[in-house]
Amino acid sequence: MAAPDEFAGMIDREELNRMRWAARRGMLELDLLLEPFVATRYALLDEADRHCFQQLMRCEDQDLFAWLMQRQPPGDEEHARIVSQILKFAHTPVQDR
């Protein structure tokens, strides 16, 4: 598989950097899920899913924690879709990402 930076050319570098910054939540559990997802998958998402991720990054940490730790499902369908992608990525062995 190609290195993540090879895909960064498909989207604006500034957008990718904003999402890398947004994924740094200051809560270790969230950081361990979100930062690798952005680094590896964000640039591969289609425009609709990138928009969903951007909206997700506007949510409160407590909500993100509950959703990503699967303590409760997101109430919003778009949030649920991107949370599902993040969780699928997180449960994929590193060598298969």
Domains of the chain: 4-96 (1.10.150.250)
pLDDT single digits (tens) 29-45: 999 999 999 999 999 99
Q: If you average pLDDT over residues 6-12, what whole number do you get?
A: 60
Question: What's residue 10's pLDDT?
Answer: 65
Written in H, E and C, the secondary structure of the chain is CCCHHHHHHHCCHHHHHHHHHHCCCCCHHHHHHHHHHHHHCHHHCCHHHHHHHHHHCCCCHHHHHHHHCCCCCCCCHHHHHHHHHHHHHHCCCHHHC
Instruction: Give residue-wise pLDDT tens across range 41-97.
Output: 999 999 999 999 999 999 999 999 999 999 999 999 999 999 999 999 999 998 888
